[in-house]
Structure 1
Amino acid sequence: MDKTYQLEICANSVLSALTAQEGGADRVELCQNLDVGGTTPSLGQVWLTRAGLSIGVHVLIRPRAGDFLYTDTEFLEMKSDVMFCKEAKCDGVVIGMLLADGQVDSLRMAELIELARPMQVTFHRAFDRCRDPFEALEAIINLGCDRLLTSGLKNSAMEGVETIAQLIKQANGRIEVMPGSGISEQNITQIAELTGATSFHSSAKIEQRSGMDYVGGEVGGMGDTVWVSAKEKIRQMADMLKNR
């Protein structure tokens, strides 16, 4: 019997992606720099992850931190990254672009989606900075995106459950609406109940201390800790969803 629920893990390294698979995730969203909301991973990271995983590999296409209003040069970079992901036989890409007025940048999104096919396309949390979520949802559906990742325009999915539930009702099966941001083993079943969602996005991250014996100098922000996905957290969420 097919699983009713899907668990996507936001993996910021090859190690985290492998951990996600071992923990029972259905797919990974591969990225770097989680501390700024994620950016496009390196080419080596994409190749090694694709080679090492049998579950779905979706790659974040976000050239920089900050807003989602991109220059022509940044757009060319995004197109190049999409083409590379297709060459690497990834299963999907995760993208999002807005206009200066807060509407979805449908024109340039359409170019990226056409370039990406036959890969799946997820519209990411740029959605959470749009001016009208219900108008934006229709634009994203009309573009043909397979999935929408959202926290319901709040800092966490738990805070945004009411809006997420409204979006799922409006979508009516035309697109998968996937809650993300702050989802953990402590709240995933509650969010499922409150929203009606069947697909969930979590980083399941923990801090890992540096293995360095020698720590010299007084420069901060280098060599202290890194974020990694925790297999125990992933396994617990996967089991919770499986047993619903």
Structure 2
Amino acid sequence: MNKLEIACFNLDSALIAQENGANRVELCAEMQVGGTTPDFEITKQVRKLITIDLNVMIRPRGGNFVYSDTEFQQMKNAIVQFKEIGVNGFVFGILTENNLINTIQNTELIELAKPFPCTFHRAFDEVSDAFQSLEEIIECGFQTILTSGQKPNVMEGVNRLAELVVKAKNRISIMPGGGLRSTNIDFIQEKTKATFYHSSAITDGSEMANPEEVKQLKSKLHV
């Protein structure tokens, strides 16, 4: 069965995700900038109340994915702190000023996160060479790439997503996300043959997941 991750920006959304069949929650703050590191106390509450997997975004601010030494230290501190409360994985991505994969810093965070798996987030959609970057991300030790196929959304990026799944050869999971909804998930599954899918399930411009949308997304996942 293909699996579903719901990006959540608050405790209530995480509970909605769990109650309606999601396999995993990606917890973030600041939806308007594409997600940042969530508040520690809120994350602790979420961890207490959900039993499905909980991945946490590690991103000190919105904007680009090139970080100062201070910001990089903040990322390391956050990983150490979140590990103590039993999250299941981390979501981050660091680029160089030339939009290449910062292999040194990413590898350092992956080592710090062990034994928990790491997802390279949509910073991937800004790299100049998708396939070289794919190899470098695998080399760093990431287990998943969250991507819209280097386009604004998964519908526009579907061909690149399909290419990435083929090139990944099961060495890493390519997780389509960005504008994924119950209205297009059948098409995206058919075209990409991915096995894990990512959506906020937000349908009304709020920051709250729609229970019916989560249910619909889950019901359309292929066996």
Q: Normalised by the size of structure 1, how large is the TM-score?
A: 0.90
Q: Note the aligned Cα RMSD (angstroms).
A: 1.0
* Residue in structure 2 matched with residue 85 of structure 1 by the alignment: 82
Greater Rg by CA: 1
Secondary structure of residue in 1 paired with 2:62: coil
Inter-partner Cα distance in structure 2 for 1:165 and 1:142? 21
Does the CA-based 8 Å contact 1:206-1:227 persist in structure 2?
no
- Per-residue deviation, residues 13-65 of structure 1 (Å, max 9, x unmatched): 01100110011000010001111101111001110111111100000001000
The question of 1:41 aligning with 2:38 is answered yes
The question of 1:241 aligning with 2:221 is answered yes
Q: For residue 206 of structure 1, report the CA deviation from its aligned partner.
A: 3.5
Moved over 2 A (4+): none
Which of 211, 220, 231 lines up with 2:211 in the alignment?
231
Q: Normalised by the size of structure 2, how large is the TM-score?
A: 0.98
Inter-partner Cα distance in structure 1 for 2:207 and 2:105? 33
Higher relative contact order (CA 8 A, sep 6+): 2
Letter aligned with residue 169 of structure 2: N
- Per-residue deviation, residues 188-219 of structure 1 (Å, max 9, x unmatched): 111000111111000001347xxxxxxxxxxx
Kindly report which structure 2 residues correspond to 1:29-108, keeping only aligned pairs within 5 A, or say none.
29-108=26-105
Does the CA-based 8 Å contact 1:61-1:82 persist in structure 2?
yes
5+ residue gaps in structure 1? 209-225
Letter aligned with residue 116 of structure 2: M
Aligned length: 223
Q: For residue 227 of structure 1, report the CA deviation from its aligned partner.
A: 1.6
The question of 1:199 aligning with 2:196 is answered yes
5+ residue gaps in structure 2? none
- Per-residue deviation, residues 131-178 of structure 1 (Å, max 9, x unmatched): 111010000001111100000100001110100111110000000000
